[in-house]
Chain A
Amino acid sequence: MIIAERKPMEEIRQMIAPYKKLLLAGCATCVAVCWAGGEKEVGILASQLRLDQSKGRKKISVLEATVERQCEKEMVEELRDKVQEVDAVLSLACGSGVQTMAEMFEDKPVFPAVNTTFIGMPEREGLWVEMCGACGDCFLDRTGGICPIVRCAKGLLNGPCGGMRKGGKCEIDPEKDCAWVLIYRRLEKQGRLDLMREYYPPKNYRAVKRPGRIQAAKA
């Protein structure tokens, strides 16, 4: 899922400073799971903005709404009436959700309240780790389902590097496991260690043209 984290309060304050009536729009999918922009976080941020006592802060009126997926136009359409009532929208969705909202309501300024950071998974309660770099040319079949592009600090395709620490830790961050040690152990379990002897040429990072666009075969 897409992982995001809330922007610092000061940055949010600066964005919304000229507006008196705001809509806080949450998304109940990825950003809700990573505790950044779901219904609960919308409630907390709305409450904070109403209680804000920082210097020179004006009283503002805040509406709250959360849609199932803010990156889908049909779902964002549900917010149309509320958007008409406000001066600006503060979206707690990922960058895709913010842009969908901005495209749907071009006459209203739409601001992001979160920073979209990566595609990842929850490792334990309250901790999310990056798992996929969305490179467009998946390599996981050769690495036992562990992506060296994002999980190796150097993004090596032919690892491990010479700097691995004792205990299989990364030389750049001793807290992190060396991705290539994890790959070796996984392939060993699967009896596919011969893959470690393969040489992989430099990756084609042009597989995804920006902006990415996929047309389903039978659409």
Chain B
Amino acid sequence: MNSCIVAFCCEHSAYPAADLAGKLKLHCPESLRIIRVPCAGRVDVIHILKAFENGAVAVLVLGCEDGACHHITGNTRAKERVKYCNMLLKEIEADGRHVAMFNLSPNEPHKFVRAVNEITKRIKESGR
């Protein structure tokens, strides 16, 4: 799990998008680890921190588009948690670690790849 990117993918949006990206053979970094979750709102702060403890350099939380969450408010809750998690990381000066939330639809494989590339870029910029 060392130096990997963990992506928590909502099974109603990001996971089908990641699946489609695979079918279209779109390129994603080898270090990407996808974890399927029933909703982005299922991802808690502790899950993100545990991913870092186990060696991840970045964590992505990928959920449905604003207003389209299958569980109504899961994506907005996830966004707040990601914000809180960034504050916790700042407190411990773990600047090299990144957490980000992206919203996408199940038919947007390119957006999924863009999100992964965006976080990879941030990792490279921070020199890890």
Q: Given A9-B92, A44-B88, A51–B53 Cβ distance below 8 Å?
A: yes
Stretch with Cβ within 8 A of A (4 or more), from B2-10, B43-51, B64-72: B43-51
Offer 21 A-B interface pairs, CB within 8 angstroms, sorted by A: A9-B91, A40-B44, A43-B46, A44-B45, A44-B49, A44-B88, A47-B49, A47-B50, A47-B52, A48-B91, A48-B92, A50-B53, A51-B49, A51-B94, A52-B92, A52-B93, A52-B94, A53-B92, A53-B93, A54-B92, A55-B93
B96 nearest CB neighbor, chain A only? A53
Q: CB distance B46 to A47 under 8 Å?
A: yes
> Which residues of chain A come closer than 8 Å to B91, judged between CB atoms?
9, 48
> Which residues of chain A come closer than 8 Å to B45, judged between CB atoms?
44
Within 8 A of B (CB), among A29-56: 40, 43-44, 47-55
Chain B, residues 63-102, CB within 8 Å of chain A (1/0): the string is 0000000000000000000000000110111111100000
Q: CB distance B46 to A40 under 8 Å?
A: yes
> Which residues of chain A come closer than 8 Å to B92, judged between CB atoms?
9, 48-49, 51-54
B97 nearest CB neighbor, chain A only? A51
Residues on A close to B: CB < 8 A?
Answer: 9, 40, 43-44, 47-55
Q: CB distance A44 to B46 under 8 Å?
A: yes
Tell me if B's interface is mostly helix, strand, loop or mixed.
helix
CB within 8 Å: A-B pair count = 39
Taken together as a complex, chains A and B put the C-alpha atoms of A47 and B94 apart, in Å, by 12
Residues on B close to A: CB < 8 A?
Answer: 44-46, 49-50, 52-53, 88-89, 91-97
Taken together as a complex, chains A and B put the C-alpha atoms of A47 and B85 apart, in Å, by 11
Taken together as a complex, chains A and B put the C-alpha atoms of A187 and B88 apart, in Å, by 46
Taken together as a complex, chains A and B put the C-alpha atoms of A49 and B97 apart, in Å, by 15
Q: CB distance A53 to B46 under 8 Å?
A: no
> Which residues of chain A come closer than 8 Å to B94, judged between CB atoms?
51-53
Taken together as a complex, chains A and B put the C-alpha atoms of A104 and B45 apart, in Å, by 32
> Which residues of chain B come closer than 8 Å to A53, judged between CB atoms?
92-96
Taken together as a complex, chains A and B put the C-alpha atoms of A53 and B96 apart, in Å, by 10
Taken together as a complex, chains A and B put the C-alpha atoms of A50 and B93 apart, in Å, by 12
Taken together as a complex, chains A and B put the C-alpha atoms of A49 and B46 apart, in Å, by 13
Taken together as a complex, chains A and B put the C-alpha atoms of A83 and B91 apart, in Å, by 27
Q: CB distance B93 to A48 under 8 Å?
A: no
> Which residues of chain B come closer than 8 Å to A9, judged between CB atoms?
91-92
**Given A9-B92, A44-B49, A48-B88, 14 new contacts (CB under 8 A):** A43-B49, A44-B45, A47-B49, A47-B50, A47-B53, A48-B91, A51-B52, A51-B89, A52-B92, A52-B94, A53-B92, A53-B94, A54-B92, A54-B93
Q: Determine which residue in B46, B50, B89, B95 has the highest number of CB atoms from chain A within 10 A of its CB, and name it.
A: B46
